[in-house]
A and B are shown apart, each in its own frame.
Chain A
Amino acid sequence: DAGITQSPRHKVTETGTPVTLRCHQTENHRYMYWYRQDPGHGLRLIHYSYGVKDTDKGEVSDGYSVSRSKTEDFLLTLESATSSQTSVYFCAISESPDHYEQYFGPGTRLTVT
């Protein structure tokens, strides 16, 4: 199994508060991703990173920011959490361009009340 951890695994927060989710990998993979999973939508890409300090927006990036200061860590921040951001968040990693599959972390269940 790919070494990917996410923290926290569960979080309940109030509307308007900032929240940061952490993804940590021990595989030294170059690419990292943040997805959200909601019923009926599958997984939707929020942001991704193609190297240290190199990030870009995905399909549903509004209200989210990311940072990657080290190869192994990719942070997702909800600047001011809203109830619509209640979801399960998955981090994923992928190796070089020759290895196209992504491997996923265990997920973080976030509830915004």
Chain B
Amino acid sequence: AQKVTQAQTEISVVEKEDVTLDCVYETRDTTYYLFWYKQPPSGELVFLIRRNSFDEQNEISGRYSWNFQKSTSSFNFTITASQVVDSAVYFCARKSGGYNKLIFGAGTRLAVHP
């Protein structure tokens, strides 16, 4: 199976630190889509971003930024000046086959301490 690997199981930082969550994917496709989701302690899953393989521009949204590098098959997520509200489990995912199916990584639990 073409996997999505999030090697960092847990990360702990102090508020205002920058933190990067790593995501490495496997694919044989020339066209593919990558995603990040956030799962706060309340349990819901929140869609953050979709990135297609044609667009290698970095994306920035407020304190969040995403670095997509096809050469290393990575789609990393950086939170700048982290806040306690950023504490959550973050999942990276890749579109897999038809019908918009997704394969998820195991997730990275981020704890931001005051």
- Min C-beta distance of A28 to chain B, whole Å: 15
Assess the B47–A41 pair: CB atoms within 8 A.
Answer: no
User: Which chain A residues border B101 with CB–CB below 8 Å?
Assistant: 33, 45, 48, 58
- Min C-beta distance of A71 to chain B, whole Å: 15
Asked if A103 CB lies within 8 Å of chain B CBs, one says yes
- Min C-beta distance of B44 to chain A, whole Å: 6
Residue of B nearest to A49 (CB): B99
Binary per-residue interface labels of chain A (77-113) against chain B in the complex, 1 for a CB within 8 Å, 0 otherwise? 0000000000010101010010111111011000000
A interface list, Cβ under 8 A from B? 31, 33, 40-45, 48, 50, 56, 58, 88, 90, 92, 94, 97, 99-104, 106-107
The DSSP consensus for interface residues of chain A is: strand
- Min C-beta distance of B52 to chain A, whole Å: 8
Assess the A48–B47 pair: CB atoms within 8 A.
Answer: no
B: contact size bracket: 20 to 34
Asked, given contacts A31-B100, A33-B101, whether A42 binds B107 with beta carbons under 8 Å apart, the answer is yes
Assess the B43–A107 pair: CB atoms within 8 A.
Answer: yes
- Min C-beta distance of A24 to chain B, whole Å: 16
- Min C-beta distance of B96 to chain A, whole Å: 9
B interface list, Cβ under 8 A from A? 4, 6, 33, 35, 37, 43-45, 47, 50, 91, 95, 98-107
Assess the B47–A42 pair: CB atoms within 8 A.
Answer: no
* Besides A58-B101, A107-B43, 11 new A-B residue pairs in contact (Cβ under 8 A), listed by A number: A31-B99, A42-B91, A43-B45, A43-B91, A45-B103, A48-B101, A94-B100, A100-B100, A101-B35, A102-B47, A106-B43
A107 to B107, CA, bound (A): 17
8 closest Cβ pairs, A-B complex: A42-B104, A104-B45, A94-B100, A43-B104, A42-B106, A50-B99, A100-B33, A101-B47
